[in-house]
Chains A and B, each alone.
Chain A
Amino acid sequence: METIVSNAVITEPKVLDALRSVMDPDLGRDIVSLNFIRNMKIEGGVVSFDVNLTTPACPVKDRLREQSRQAVLSGVPGVSDVRVNMTAEVRRPPQPQTNQIKGVKNIIAVGSGKGGVGKSTVAANIAVALARTGAKTGLLDADIYGPSIPIMMRSVGEPEMKDGLIQPVQAHGVKLMSMGYMSGEMPLIWRGPMAHKALQQSLLGVNWGELDYLVVDLPPGTGDVHLTLVQTVPVTGAVIVSTPQDVGLQISMKTLRMFQQTKVPVLGIVENMSGYVCPHCGAKDDIFGQGGAVRAAQALGVPLLGEIPLDAAIRKHSDSGVPVVLGEPDSPSGRAFTEITGKLAQQISIQAFKSIPLTIIED
């Protein structure tokens, strides 16, 4: 594949050399050694290739495209045009062979120190935002105390059994399973062992198929369900949802410590109910205090994924069953959720590259 244009030979190694100057800012390595460059074609002075990222939700996608284009245009003599096609393939972190859900690449736990901080809202919006980018996404509502995901996602009907597996419900491009399906209208009044069994079945007994991300909405606090989750499957990482006030009271710290003790990396903190903007005068009121999550994130060395304002649009769309990130993506809260999801996807990709496979070698 060599073409002579204005006396310069364009070769694949030359193009790759030029692309070595483009760094993935999260993984801290160049895109060539990360093996992102695929399907290179050189036709005349026109070079085309794919940049295969680690997540379709990558927030620096456009920047990397432009940097790649410029690097080849200015770094390889004779190139008249560069066509960059951005693709993505979510990598599976190295995982133990036992006890994983076949086909599920990443499991993300969404937890909180206490109830009522908007954990399920955050989980639903993250799942829908991931699915919007083209990622294959599932959402497991593991909140046995108040399963609210089916309402927020407007999923009607109950999952069916097929070949001994529960078939998840589809809603807004997300595969959905809820503990709420297990009891219908009745509350779940369960001892620990029941909750344990129900979660195991919701993880391993569901036909999830191929998933890039499975978001698990946990009950508030730390308890049976959390322990079962971290003992049953290798969790890629956890997101902690908190209000500014809650962080001030350090309740979320306990949840954080639980994940730490069970070696689940904490991917970041989301601050919800972060100030209220008056729709009449535009003034911002920090009802629950200010900056708590920023300080907690700094103190703990955990990324702050973002702050979601108190916004009537969130409540309106949640109640009508269309998460705000889909119902009103350009609202302040819709934009905040999109940004948070992008940062989360970055953290997951970093984690996938960092982790070491945990397997027992039998001699």
Chain B
Amino acid sequence: MLTTPDRATPAEIRKKKGQGITIRWQDGHASTYGARYLRGLCPCAQCVSETTGQRLVFEGHIGPDLAIEAARTVGNYALHFDFNDGHTTGIYSFDYLRRICPCEECA
């Protein structure tokens, strides 16, 4: 059986009202993402140029009162967010989320 590495498989996903998302991974590590941080690293084609791969939208562009209105899972492999600025096109795979963990250890 193919098993994906535990480090990119969530054990628990929590959404704290107004504070973003916390994922505890199966290897025991925990990652906490603020709404602005996630919005600034949105992997969708509007935020990252499809032809050059250059990032077009940064956290610095995002207003201070940005929040996640809704979060849901995508199949078995990703999260999707509705941000209160109307942006809803990003699909954040768990592999990607683990890679962008903002904690001091990972950064």
Contacts and interface: CB of A to CB of B under 8 A. Distances in A.
B73 A266 contact: no
Interface in A242-287: 256, 259-267
B29 interface: no
B14 A363 contact: yes
Contacts of B95: 261
Given A231-B91, A263-B9, A263-B94, A359 B73 contact: yes
B10 interface: yes
A108 to B, nearest CB: 14
B75 interface: yes
Nearest to A228: B75
Contacts of B26: 356
B75 A301 contact: no
Given A358-B13, A361-B13, A262 B77 contact: yes
Interface in B38-89: 71-79
Contact of A262 (B10, B12, B76): B76
Interface string A86-125: 0000000000101100000000000000000000000000
Counting chain B residues whose Cβ lies within 8 A of the other chain, the interface size class is 20 to 34
Interface string B1-43: 1101000011111111100010000100000000000000000
Nearest to B76: A263
Interface of A: 96, 98-99, 230-235, 256, 259-267, 300-303, 347, 350, 356, 358-363
Given A235-B76, A262-B93, A358-B73, 4 more contacts: A230-B77, A231-B91, A233-B75, A261-B93
26 contacts: A98-B72, A98-B73, A99-B72, A99-B73, A234-B73, A235-B75, A260-B2, A261-B93, A261-B95, A262-B93, A263-B75, A264-B76, A265-B1, A300-B2, A303-B1, A350-B1, A356-B9, A358-B76, A360-B13, A360-B14, A360-B73, A360-B79, A361-B12, A362-B15, A362-B17, A363-B16
